[in-house]
Structure 1
């Protein structure tokens, strides 16, 4: 009886050890259907600025926060774990603009949102697109990109509009 109990305990203890030694295969995240192509020149449909920088991810995240603070934005949300950042709306040329950024490796993705609010209705955030490049939201996004430096490219997000 004691032998059976010892064998049973050994068997039960060996399974977690064997499982702990196996590594799950990395899961490949598919590229978004739209927006997987980065372009050097913005087209009217682009809504995301992608900046390649040489700094460490945490340094890039802090730099984005500094640039936005210098431009007058108040930080609404920031996560050092996720390396994300979002601002409260700022009035720029009679447009209310919110900025959101996310760091992945040495790449920074930044979007601008036009903020609308009618009396009695909740706030609406609409992703700013380049269109002709002469709207306040896109000009603000381009100015932020210039301050950050690095290689700037543009894409269209896969999120529904």
Structure 2
């Protein structure tokens, strides 16, 4: 087995494991909390996207990756991180346009991860990812992908539900 096949296998196996864990544990919890809290939990996963900055030290340590691909990955992930943080503030402040921002985050994440993966494959460097970067690609990316899938599921299946529960008198 070579490094390229190993990273694809690790991603696939982790994806299967995280989907199973989501079905067994996360789905029931999401159903038991309000819509805003469910979306906050799923959006919080994106705060780890600052891990993309590790790519600079991996590149300095010898990982082969073109600077334009590195920059594309970093910009996309930091944009996703910033959007997630804004969404969490908006949900905390009970702003209704949070739903639009969550859809935007889901779209941004799919485009970012898809274009980054395609760029690495086209450059023939996906097998050159190593060290901590390998763990991020093999472990963290499937977590984010499952969170995005669950977010879309929440957005669609709970669209008729109020985002925030009515509060009683203060």
- Which bin holds the TM-score, normalised by the shorter protein? under 0.3
Higher relative contact order (CA 8 A, sep 6+): 2
- Larger radius of gyration, structure 1 or 2? 1
**TM-score by structure 1 length?**
0.25
TM-score normalised by length of structure 2: 0.25
Please identify which structure carries the higher helix content. Answer: 2
Of Structure 1 and Structure 2, the greater strand share is in 1
